[in-house]
Structure 1
Amino acid sequence: MSDSYRVVLADDHPAFRSGIRALLEKSGRLAVVAEASDGVEALSTVRLLKPDVLLLDMDMPKMSGVEVARAIRAETLPVRVLALSAYDDPAYVRQLLDEGAAGYITKEKAPSLVVEAVIAVAEGQGRWFVMPKSETGLTALTDRERAVLLELAKGQTNGGIAEALCLSEYTVRNHLTNVYAKLGLEGARDAVAWAWRTGVVRT
């Protein structure tokens, strides 16, 4: 049986929390153990319950999401923070990740990706991004994501990439999902075309 994970959901909009909670719990692998409507409550709830993941809205009353993430990092609380935000400024995203967040997803992407993102973050599958499309290009990718993209562009299957880079196929799929999201691509075919067009294969 797959592992299940405990989640605290922090957002100041009750209707939004309700919708996201339903999505998470429908997965069968995620249990929302508490909700928080402001940053102070989010931090105190994490201190008390020590969940696996804090799904944290960035625009919160009393303490912003960045302030909450900073406090969690300073106190070395054993929780992975997945930021959920309407902000699409790459500089803002980088600031948040510098504060120790394990991932970032925009609210417009949340309905289709939030469950996958929370599980990936809980399992420590590397940082999960759905970056704004205004930040596109190789600089948006991690070193591992670049390596996976390079192998894909060379014609490798997911299994071949996993073998070449000593990864599991699950991890390869997760990296490719991140690559597609960061570059604003639809899938493998577009990614291969992008890699050859931009010279990734020759880097």
Structure 2
Amino acid sequence: MEVIANKRDVQGKGASRRLRRSGKTPGVVYGGNQPAMNIELDHNAVFYALKREAFHSSVLTLDIDGAKESVLLRDYVMHPFRMEVQHLDFQRVDKTHKLHVSVPLHFINADVAPGVKLSGGNVSHIMTELNIACLADSLPEFIEVDLAKLEAGHSIHVADIKMPAGVEVVLHKGENPPVATIVVPRGAATEESAA
């Protein structure tokens, strides 16, 4: 994804307010071996880009006055009650160093899982994203979690997820938290035992 930006010379609260009134959003690019740079972006383009999942978890190409850099979206600030993006933070990506990023989880085959199909259970998502470490070229947009063999009362853990090549999960030593579980509602369990 490409993001168009311009260098911003004026700084401060008043300058940022004027910028927002003119339909622009202030931002900053930092990291790497270069100093931080203040930028401005088109508000509408950024507002709609933030609605896309890939914008949050992919390496983006930031075009600043014609010069292109690889960056990651690190943070953004929304207005408390208006549909307005207040500020964006981008971090430069060094292709030789590993990134630590949160990547969304996509759950597949929940409808064919034995715990749902045979036992009438519901899938409970304990985690919706996972902290990973990888090089920029290996960064996945999302990680799939296959629930096809999950039975009622059982959980799928982080160690059970097949990671893409070059991607490792960032966890404490010996930690293996559950990602999703199938829970049978109380009413369904009582009906089954009565039958």
Same fold (TM over 0.5): no
Q: Which has the higher contact order (CA 8 A, sep 6+)?
A: 2
TM-score, length-scaled by structure 1: 0.26
